[in-house]
């Protein structure tokens, strides 16, 4: 269904997009980040934290590493401030890139079984579905963040996949 190159390319894309996001949000006040803008997770800050939560949950399912113990309802309070968010974001992006550089085609062609604490249910799907979910979830919520930042007059870097620099 998917190949190793997809994982590596999307891992690079994820890190590139998050680095651009970091450049914008580091200069913003916590009040501006936390202002409720009517998004599903309320604010830029809530959505950024939810994205951290989701990435940590999904990469832990893929790499069998550690994760957080939060559920969707508490996913908006992963970290307390922008410095902690940036540190955790960079660590997660590095973890995703590391996983993508070592994943095998055999693993991608296999199955993924996990327990969702949010839904208190066990799932088993093709590994490729889990991988696509992680990258799609990132893109979805970064799009929401992009919309909220644009509404606050912020300018963000390009988001088109073909514009991903070769060195990113």
According to the model, what pLDDT value does residue 168 have? Answer: 72
Its sign, for the CA torsion 161, 66, 109, 136, is negative
Distance separating alpha carbons of residues 107 and 45, to the nearest angstrom: 34
Residue 21: helix, strand or coil by DSSP? helix
User: What residues of the chain score a pLDDT lower than 70?
Assistant: none
According to the model, what pLDDT value does residue 157 have? Answer: 87
Distance separating alpha carbons of residues 8 and 30, to the nearest angstrom: 33
Burial track 41-76 (b if 16+ CB lie within 10 A, e otherwise): bbbbbbbbbbbbbbbbbbbebbbeeeeeebeeeebb
According to the model, what pLDDT value does residue 60 have? Answer: 97
Nearest Cα to 88, choosing from 141, 61, 49? 49
According to the model, what pLDDT value does residue 113 have? Answer: 97
pTM for this structure? Answer: 0.96
Region of 38 (left: φ > 0; alpha: ψ -120 to 50; beta: rest) is: left
For 120-133, give the DSSP string.
Answer: TEEEEEEHHHHHHH
């Amino acid at each position: 269904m998917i190949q190793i190159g997809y994982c590596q390319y999307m891992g690079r894309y994820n890190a590139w997009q998050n680095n651009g996001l970091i450049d914008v949000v580091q200069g913003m006040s916590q009040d501006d980040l936390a202002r409720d803008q009517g998004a599903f997770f309320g604010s830029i800050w809530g959505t950024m934290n939810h994205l951290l939560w989701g990435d940590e949950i999904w990469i832990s399912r893929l790499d069998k590493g550690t994760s957080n113990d939060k559920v969707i309802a508490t996913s908006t309070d992963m970290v307390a401030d922008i410095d902690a968010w940036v540190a955790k974001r960079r660590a997660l992006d590095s973890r995703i890139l590391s996983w993508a550089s070592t994943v095998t085609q055999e693993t991608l062609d296999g199955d993924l079984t996990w327990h969702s604490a949010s839904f208190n249910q066990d799932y088993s799907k093709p590994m490729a579905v889990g991988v696509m979910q992680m990258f799609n979830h990132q893109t979805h919520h970064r799009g929401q963040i992009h919309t909220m930042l644009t509404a606050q007059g912020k300018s963000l870097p390009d988001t088109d996949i073909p514009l991903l620099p070769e060195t990113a």
